[in-house]
Amino acid sequence: MKHIILLLFIILLHATAANSQTLRFVRTDVDSSRSSIITATYLFGVDIYADSIENCRGISFEVTYNMPTKVRYSSSSVYEFAKNGSFVVIPQINNTSDMGNLFIGVLAGRDIKSFGAVDPKIIHLEFAVSQSAAHQSEFRMQFSNVQAVVYSDSGGSIVNISVPDQVFQIHSYIDVWPGDADNDGIVDTRDISAVGLYLGYGSSSGEMRSFKRLSPSTIWTPQHVLAWDSLAVTYADCDGNGDVTITDLLIIPLNFSKQHTVPLKDQDIPQVVDNPDQNCSNGNTVRIPVYVSSSETILGASGLINLGELSNYADILCLEKGDIFDSESFLFMKYNEEENNIEFATGSTNQENKKSTGTLVYIIAEPKQNIDLNNIGFYSELYGINQSGIIFPLNSVSSVDEKDLSSSNLINESNNVITLSQNLLNFSDCVIRIFNSTGNLIETIDPKSGITYMDLNYLPQGVYFVSLTGRNISELHPVFVIK
């Protein structure tokens, strides 16, 4: 009885081993996280290995695949296994059934007395994906007549192998509407959340393979782009530069409330909910204005505030909306404590803003000691967008710019006195404004008025800002009044 049980066990063991013998597939053009995706206009390659096959001397099989005119067989090559042997790949396309076939045989060139290889790398196949391949269509490879030639005590044998289908999803061109970051058919505040959810994704950060639009525009029209590894993140790239950044939020106020029809196949994009406005002020907090002045009407703005020394003297709590936009506006912020900066975007949601100067946002901070936080400088890099969709740099008069007066040939400062250069007369519409550290306007000067200098000795000691704005000029310089 024991001998019968042992025999049955051996038979079962061999049957299990035979069933586990198969082929293994490894993508060579992308990493394992993207192995189920192939992308239009790109080649995709796959290495085919023998799996759980010992003493292998050769493999032969047939591949049947769909869409042979959209996913075209391109080339093949072999590795060390067939270095002294031979291989053959015979491609065929059946135009009637629209199916392709590959008839493949790879032999190691070893005679009947030699041992074979263990799980060798058999062959490399490469395909080219057409730009006309439909997005989210399925490319399927089916395997039949798969046989392995293996060494055995009797000299050799042929083993039949079972191989599961290999299925890939095609990422091709889709239409993106600038500002509809969640692709729900309307630009609204939920799109702000979508950009915030995927902030930082893109090729530049290495978080995801992404693609730039060929001709990116802020115009409300469908724009063709290759789908990223994640379809949802593709829509969040509102400006089409291949990365989801804070600047993408500038496109939302430009196209706010605009609508389009969403195809049924694209309606499975996960939606995100809006976040309420933040209000973190209390009796101990200080509101530090980020004041901007521009010659352009500002519909929306975004940028980076580098807090510098400010975070050493206060706990940074949040940002609050300024007065440059009316109540129909949005604000998004991301506080990067380790990098000591704040990324933010704010803008109008009614497309009727006419202001070019004002407080963009307030930094809400709680002092750690008895000190005037408004006299502590910070740096900002800001951008605005106007109603024509043009993105332009913004000057902030609330932060200490890295430029100083020595970089300008238009004004000079000495002993709290600013001297105006005659070169300012070349800018017919130039206006000179002086602001204090809280963004309040102190004085406005027209260079054509005949004034040649400004004596600031009447002002209290502290940091001030000189703004030069006009059609062909935009400069901002800090001035330190010292007594």
Residues 122 and 223 in one domain: no
Mark whether 114 and 7 lie in a shared domain: yes
Residue at a domain's end among 396, 415, 437: 396
Q: Which has the closest alpha carbon to 155: 79, 87, 239, 55?
A: 55
| Same domain, residue pair 27 and 50 | yes
**Is 271 among the domain residues?**
no
Tell me which of 266, 298, 327 is where a domain ends. Answer: 266
Q: What mean pLDDT value characterizes the chain?
A: 82
The yes-or-no verdict on residue 234 having pLDDT over 90 is: yes
- Residue 397 identity: V
- What's the distance, CA 247 to chain centroid? 11
State the Cα–Cα distance between residues 68 and 419, nearest whole angstrom. 75
Q: What pLDDT shows up at residue 114?
A: 65
- The answer to whether residues 314 and 460 belong to one domain is no
Which of 396, 424, 439 is the endpoint of a domain?
Answer: 396
Q: Is residue 278 situated within a structural domain?
A: no
Please check whether residue 38 lies inside any domain of the structure: yes
What's the domain count of the chain?
Answer: 4
Whether residue 281 has pLDDT greater than 80 = no
Q: What is the mean pLDDT of residues 273-301?
A: 75
Q: Is residue 142 part of a domain?
A: yes
Which residues, 6 or more positions from 280, have their beta carbon under 8 angstroms from its beta carbon? 317, 318, 320, 364
Does 118 reside within a domain?
Answer: yes
Percent of the chain whose predicted confidence (pLDDT) is above 90: 38
Whether the per-residue pLDDT at 19 is higher than 80: the answer is no
Selected residue with higher pLDDT from 179 and 352: 179
Q: Are residues 425 and 391 in the same domain?
A: no
Same domain, yes or no: 202 and 167: no
Buried b (16+ CB within 10 A) or exposed e, 439-470: beeeeebebeeeeeebebeebeebbbbbbbbb
Question: Do 165 and 184 share a domain, yes or no?
Answer: no
**What contacts 190, CB < 8 A, 6 or more positions away?**
182, 184, 271, 272, 273, 274
Query: Is 204 in the same domain as 120?
Result: no
The mean pLDDT of 271-285, rounded to a whole number, is 60
- Number of Cβ within 10 Å of residue 215's Cβ equals 8
Question: 306 lies in a domain?
Answer: yes
Most confident region among 165-174, 380-389, 429-438 by mean pLDDT? 165-174
Rounded CA-CA distance 412/406 in Å is 7
The model's pLDDT over 122-142, given as tens digits with 9 standing for 90+, comes to: 999 999 999 999 999 999 999
User: 52: which DSSP letter?
Assistant: S
Q: Check whether 313 has a pLDDT greater than 90.
A: no
- Which ranges in 165-320 belong to alpha helices (H)? 189-197, 231-236, 251-254, 310-313
Please tell me whether residues 388 and 344 are part of one structural domain: yes
| CB neighbour class for 476 (10 Å; exposed up to 12, middle 13-18, buried from 19) | buried
Angle CA 352–353–358, to nearest 5: 170
**92 and 225 part of one domain:** no
Q: How confident is the model at residue 157 (pLDDT cuts 50, 70, 90)?
A: confident
Structure tokens at 348: 């109008």
Write out pLDDT tens, residues 46-83: 999 999 898 888 999 999 999 999 999 999 999 989 88
pLDDT for residue 18 is more than 50: no
> Given this model, what pLDDT does residue 174 score?
92
According to the model, what pLDDT value does residue 373 have?
A: 72
Q: For the chain, what's the residue count?
A: 483
| CA distance to 50, 111, 481, per residue, from 47 (Å) | 10, 25, 70
Residues 6+ apart with CB under 8 A from 228: 171, 201, 208, 209, 210, 211, 234, 237
Tell me: do 196 and 152 sit in the same domain.
no
Instruction: Give DSSP secondary structure letters for 6-17.
Output: HHHHHHHHHHHH
Q: What band does 400 get if pLDDT is binned at 50, 70 and 90? A: very low
CB distance 211 to 205 below 8 Å: no
- Angstrom CA distances, 101 to 59, 109, 133, 142, 416, stand at 17, 25, 19, 9, 83
**Left (φ > 0), alpha (ψ -120 to 50) or beta: where does 183 sit?**
left
Q: Is 324 exposed, middle or buried, given 0-12, 13-18 or 19+ CB atoms closer than 10 A?
A: buried
Residue 152: count other Cβ atoms within 10 Å of its Cβ: 11
Question: In Å, how far are 13, 16, 17, 201, 417 from 3, measured between CA atoms?
Answer: 15, 20, 21, 63, 109
- The answer on 45 and 116 residing in a single domain is yes
The mean pLDDT value for 16-35 works out to 82
Domain of 31, CATH number, reads: 2.60.40.680
Structural domain includes residue 280 = no
- The answer to the question of residue 409 being in a domain is yes
Closest CA to 87 of 37, 122, 47: 122
The range of the structural domain enclosing residue 186 comes to: 176-266
CA distance 28 to 35: 9
Percent pLDDT > 70 in the chain is 83
